[in-house]
Amino acid sequence: MLFKSLYALATILLVFNTIMLSHDLHYGTSQNKKKSLKKSLLNRGAFLAIFLLWPFYLFNYLTLDTLMVSLGGLGFYYGGVTLIYGESMKSSILNILKTFLGIGLGLFALYLYFSVLSPILLSVLISVFLVLFLVVFDRFHPRILKRLFRVVPYLHNSDEGFINDKNIHEQVHMIEIDGFKSMKNAMIVGVFKPLRVYVSKAMLESMKHDEVMGVIAHEVGHVKKNHLKLRMILGLFSIMSLFFVGILVFNFESRPLFDYTIFVLAMIILGTLYRSLFALLLQKQEFEADAYTKLIGQSENLIAALNKLKKGEPKVHNSLFHLLRASHPPTQVRIERLKEMQ
């Protein structure tokens, strides 16, 4: 009964996510965006077909030969969709290879998790690796980002106290990422030290100096409110909870295929839940960082910057879908809240 309930809940969540994807396709404005969404939607259909076929095999309503033929057909379908909607033949083939490699690695990881190593030992090892990775990246991210992307100092010639903080690197940096050169964004990277502010080249070119400082003040607000540390803690907690579920369902001496399936169902359900909760948290943090700009006298500059940013944003057609998935609240809502603080 528990297995069927979990499967039903996971199915509902997958269908709901597919509906949201269809909504995005219907209201998409850019042709490239629509093409990408259509490809994602068609591939989602293939995944749903596999997902709905699997329980028939588990409960012996479907033979192994029939399942393999069905999976082979869906594999060819996925390959055809990727080739038709891919940017080029080379990139499409690479995406197909990456997908099947990812599936293979995922199945191998499940095999290790349930059949070879102790789930508790493997969970501890992976957790230690993730913590070490975060510590190393947090310490050396200036060097890592400089090697991966174009990063140069932005000479803002400003003496604002909110930047000249002991925990924040005083020098703001411009960043340009291949494939995202039109992206207008700013971010603070680092959880402890060093904390460094990065502003995209497109944003610097489209805004006045005061408007850029308003955006930077917003990013500093994330640091002052300890948003980055909270995100890291919640991210680690979500990963650890998946390991905990894996340990709970571990029962290799019984029916391993059911163990694997329950673990995947837990990943789908918890992953969807965490994604929505994380989206709600991020939007709340955006409002808090906006409020910080009011405390340091930068809210007017941020409003001017947001008015420029909202011109290139797609319209929000469904507030519920946006609330459950977006990392930022609608820009117009942020502007209105800032004006209410004046």
Beta bridge partners of 189: 196
Rounded mean pLDDT of 160-177? 70
Percent above pLDDT 70 for the chain? 89
For residue 159, what pLDDT is reported? 59
For residue 289, what pLDDT is reported? 92
pLDDT tens digits for 259-297?
A: 778 888 888 998 899 999 999 999 999 999 999 999 888
For residue 158, what pLDDT is reported? 57
Say if residue 97 is exposed, middle or buried (CB neighbours under 10 Å; 0-12, 13-18, 19+).
exposed
For residue 162, what pLDDT is reported? 64
Average pLDDT of the chain is 82
pLDDT tens digits for 196-247?
A: 888 888 888 888 888 988 998 898 889 888 888 888 888 888 877 877 777 7
Upper half-sphere CA count for residue 131 (Cβ side, 13 Å): 9
For residue 169, what pLDDT is reported? 62
For residue 10, what pLDDT is reported? 92
Alpha helical stretches, state H, the chain: 2-27, 31-58, 64-85, 89-111, 119-148, 201-206, 209-224, 227-249, 256-295, 299-309, 319-325, 331-341
For residue 182, what pLDDT is reported? 79
For residue 283, what pLDDT is reported? 94
80: closest CA among 98, 95, 102, 61?
A: 95
What is the Cα–Cα distance from 301 to 159, expressed in whole angstroms? Answer: 16
Collapsed DSSP state (helix, strand, coil) of residue 42: helix
Cα end-to-end distance, the chain, whole Å: 56
What is the Cα–Cα distance from 95 to 157, expressed in whole angstroms? Answer: 45
pLDDT tens digits for 110-127?
A: 777 667 666 677 777 777
Q: Scanning the structure block, which residue is given the tokens 């308003």? A: 214
For residue 284, what pLDDT is reported? 94
Q: Which CATH class is domain 128-230+282-341?
A: alpha beta
In this prediction the pTM is 0.82
Phi, psi of 87 (to 5 degrees): -70, -35
Residue type, 53: L
